Amino acid sequence: MRLSKRGEYGLRAMIDLAILAPESGNGVVQIKEIAEREKIPAKFLEQILLTLKNAGLLHSKMGIGGGYYLARPADEITLGQIIRILDGPLAPIRCVSQMAYEPCGCPDERTCGLRLIMLDVRNAIADILDNTSLADVSARVESARDFLDDPSSKPKSQ
């Protein structure tokens, strides 16, 4: 699995929305704000967020004060869902994919060493991404910021 720019930008935007949802009151954030904060081209981000909206992960509000907001609580949206919507299957080779399985060209798929290892890789990736929610990532970001803001966490100058 290789994360495309589309997948990377989509994840960054969704994490941004999850972090800002409690701060913005109604959770609505404009594309322009996300694009500026995350250094993402606004037109590309617009396409990405529209895809996520069409998949049911986002809602939008039109007009003044409009923008995008999470369709469900951040703890109900996983990184795996987002990546699959934007980049497709997580599997490194198609013969281990659960979404887009295709038989491989090896003589015996059941005993193929490459397939057995790539299945482990796919399962490890899926386990992490499917069990990590936007809320989990938001909490990690907050914890990292708290650590960096804590004067006692910084090395003392000599």
pLDDT by 10s per residue, the chain, length 158: 679 999 999 999 999 999 987 655 567 899 999 999 999 999 999 999 999 999 999 999 888 878 999 999 999 999 999 999 999 988 888 888 888 888 888 888 889 999 899 999 989 999 999 999 999 999 999 888 888 777 666 665 55
Residue 55: CA count within 13 A, CB half-sphere: 18
Mapping DSSP to helix (H, G, I), strand (E, B) and coil, where does residue 21 land? Answer: helix
pLDDT of 23 reads 56
Residue located via tokens 């701060």: 23
pLDDT of 154 reads 60
- Eight-state DSSP code of residue 78: B
- Eight-state DSSP code of residue 95: G
pLDDT of 64 reads 83
Q: Does domain 5-152 bear CATH number 1.10.10.10?
A: yes
CA distance 38 to 16: 8
pLDDT of 156 reads 57
CA distance 91 to 96: 6
pTM of the model: 0.85
pLDDT of 145 reads 83
pLDDT of 151 reads 65
CA end-to-end span of the chain, whole Å? 45
